[in-house]
Amino acid sequence: MLKWHGRRFLRKVARNTAEAIDETMELAVEYAKANHPGWVSRSGDAEDSIQVIEKAHEEQGATVGRWGSKGIAYMLFLEFRRGRAMIRAADATYRQVLPKLRRRFRFTR
């Protein structure tokens, strides 16, 4: 006899997906703060502005999260004219989402 656990499984999918995205965004923030060869922050404000803005959540049928610079308008100039720290961070870390999801979905027989 088959016992259906579809709702529980879907909740697990949503939770695991959000956790993997949150973990990846944290890695991207750390990477961007540590790797910005095109500029040097004297006060540390530019690095401090790089953060997770919204933790992963459901939005229009997808799981999304937002990270970037908050509160420092000058980061637009630094990002697009002086080295693309956040774009490079995304390139370096986003590919880790799938392995993080795979680790969370270990199936047993």
Distance CA 53, CA 65 (A): 8
Instruction: Give the number of domains in the chain.
Output: 1
pTM of the model: 0.87
Asked, for residue 109, whether it belongs to a domain, the answer is no
Q: Is position 86 within any domain?
A: yes
**pLDDT tens digits for range 10-52:** 899 999 999 999 999 999 999 999 999 989 989 999 999 999 9
> Quick one: CA dihedral 77, 78, 83, 88, positive or negative?
negative
* Element (DSSP H or E) covering residue 44: none
* Residue 105 pLDDT class (50, 70, 90 cuts): confident
Is 17 in contact with 54 (CB distance < 8 Å)?
no
Print the domain residue range for 21.
7-104
84-18-46 Cα angle (round to 5): 30
Provide the β-strand partners of residue 57: 64
Q: Is residue 40 part of a domain?
A: yes
Q: What is the pLDDT of residue 107?
A: 59
